[in-house]
Amino acid sequence: MSAAEEQMLQLRSKATELLLREEWKDSIQLYSQLIDLCQNQILKTQEDFNPDPDYPSKLHKSLCLAFSNRADARSRLQDFTEALKDCEQALQIEATHFKTLLCKGKILLSLNRYSNALDCFKEALFDPQGNGNLELLNGYLEKCKKLEFQSRTGSFDLSDWVLNGFRGKPPELAEYIGPVHVNRSEISGRGLFATKNIDAGTLVLVTKAIAIERGILGSEDSGENAQFVMWKNFVYKVKEAVTKCQKTQLLINMLSTGENEEGLEVPDMSFFRPEVEQNSCSKEKLDMDKILSILDVNSLVEEAVSAKVLGKNSDFYGVGLWLLASFINHSCNPNARRLHVGDYVMVHASRDIKAGEEITFMYFDALSSLDRRVETSESWGFNCKCRRCKFEEAVRSKKELREIEIGLEKWVDVGGTVYRLEEGMKRWAVKGKEKGYLRASFWAAYSEVYGSDRSMKRGGRRIPVMESVVDSVVETVGSDERVLKVVVEGLKKSGGGAGVVDFERAMKMGRGFYGKVVKKQAMRTLLELGIHDQSY
């Protein structure tokens, strides 16, 4: 055996050992040395004589396996771009190399390129090793078909998971882009717009986080510290993602830093489609300062009900960056909601949306007073320019409204305050949608009144029926779990027999809240559980 052959043998066995021990970085280093050595030897065999006639083919086999194993190690470190390059090199040597096709298929699945992954797994069936791994391959083939269907049709079913109280592993999801595009927004900079009419409950998009960090915050001091550490980890993950993928870098660079939004480029929707490869680099430098500003403006906190259950703790905190969702502007009169499922965010229409209309959701709680919302939007670094805020800014000059606000701060005679607000709205000629804006701002008071038998007995006749207030509030903020709770409480008090209309109202709200991903029968069961369960 020549010295080179000996060296290759040693490198191969050491690299394999490191791979088995899951020491990815070190194994990549050794496989890189092995690849260089193999390639040199292949060149040499073309010039030098070797008594073994099979030597060149053995070298090619070794090279193929080294590329394949390095691809595996690189994919474990989420370095998908380089891992895919390794797969291509291995497949050039052996077009149906089972291990490589399996690795490539898994990478393409992680990149949400479902039909490409499907082709890989199908190809792997042709390798003799594929026959011995039929069960494994069929599992991947089924998964690819399901995800490919979801990403093409936007048809998802989370009924079982939601009915099960979000317990267990979140369902596997595909990325999906509905009838939407990014365009200039009247609110600020760019926004996401519907290209077709979208019914309430219909999914608008499903997208996977570029990076996400979760944890439990704990008590005040340690909570602040924990939040700082989580933020640091989150920033590190985003930086890693940017370093490893040119497309991610290009897209993150397009996000707003909160400044000069009007001058920002409107990205083409093809940028967000996983199956479209993007090889161009971004023109602008993405330094750490810019990454930090982008994260300040675009990262979202997982505040959805599923996130709370996932953390099983009220101190649960999750922060992430979702690219396409970052183009959605905030409104206190939104038409969409988001639901966090694993690393994915699912955005659905919470009301009917017309073609051409801007899609908006809440960055923060819109079921609160104007003062509170102004304070929160300022902490986000902007002054909310939505229609509801503009309207409320205009009516807040009314002295009487200020007095009502002050009365509520003291939280005395809440029923009387609600009555004064309703009477005031009549005098100020506040009608239709705008009534809903103010009722949503004072929802805490309405909720208190409808939830208290005493208040209802004392002033119930002077206050509009719960159903009409609920309808106008839902029209303002979309379905909300707190509003739904009041409706369910009402149904519970009547022993669930308040009538078909009330139950159907609750059904509609439930679907607006969860979207069509929870099927009708499951929603019915969920509500019935709520009506009969004392702890709801």
Q: Which residues bind ligand SAM (CB under 6 A)?
A: 185, 187-191, 255-256, 258, 261, 264, 297-298, 326-327, 329-331, 381-382, 384-386
Which CB sits closer to ligand SAM, 160 or 265? 265
Residue 266: burial class (beta carbons within 10 Å; 0-12, 13-18, 19+)? middle
Q: 476 vs 121, 187, 361, 378, CA distance in Å? A: 48, 17, 11, 21
Q: Which residues lie across from 382 on neighbouring strands?
A: none
Please, which residue, 163 or 187, has the CB nearer to ligand SAM?
Answer: 187
Tokens representing 439? 């009722």
- Decide whether 364 or 428 has the Cβ nearer to ligand SAM: 364
CB 256, min distance to ligand SAM, A:
3
Cα-flanking dihedrals φ and ψ of residue 28, to 5°?
Answer: -60, -40
Distance in Å, CB of 260 to ligand SAM, minimum: 10
Cβ proximity to ligand SAM, 358 vs 480, nearer residue: 358
Report the half-sphere exposure of 251 (CA within 13 A, side-chain side).
29
In whole angstroms, the minimum distance from the beta carbon of 261 to ligand SAM comes to 5
> Could you tell me the smallest distance in angstroms from the CB atom of residue 472 to ligand SAM?
21
Q: Is 259 exposed, middle or buried (0-12, 13-18, 19+ CB in 10 A)?
A: exposed
The residue to which tokens 């206050």 are assigned:
463
Contact between residue 438 and residue 425 where contact means Cβ atoms under 8 Å apart: yes
Taking the complex as a whole, the smallest distance from the CB of residue 272 to ligand SAM amounts, in Å, to 13
Q: How far is the CB of 383 from ligand SAM (least distance, A)?
A: 6
Say if strands 190-194 and 211-216 run parallel, antiparallel, or are unpaired: unpaired
Instruction: Find the shortest distance in angstroms from Cβ 324 to ligand SAM.
Output: 11
Q: Which is nearer to ligand SAM, 154 or 191 (CB)?
A: 191
CA-closest candidate to residue 199, choices 382, 421, 386, 350: 350
Of 16 and 188, CB closest to ligand SAM: 188
The residue of the chain with the least Cβ separation from ligand SAM equals: 189
Residue among 5 and 261 whose Cβ is closer to ligand SAM? 261
Shortest Cβ distance from residue 379 to ligand SAM (Å)? 11
d(CA 244, CA 238): 10
The 3-class secondary structure across 293-325, one letter per residue, is: HHHHHHCEECCCHHHHHHHCCCCEEEEEECCHH
Closest contact distance (angstroms) between CB of 343 and ligand SAM is: 18
Of the two residues 256 and 452, which places its CB atom closer to ligand SAM in the complex? 256
Q: Give 366 or 469: the residue with its C-beta nearer to ligand SAM.
A: 366
Angle between helices 443-451 and 414-427 (to 10 degrees): 130
Give the integer Cα–Cα distance in Å for 107 and 92: 18
Strands 336-341 and 344-349: antiparallel
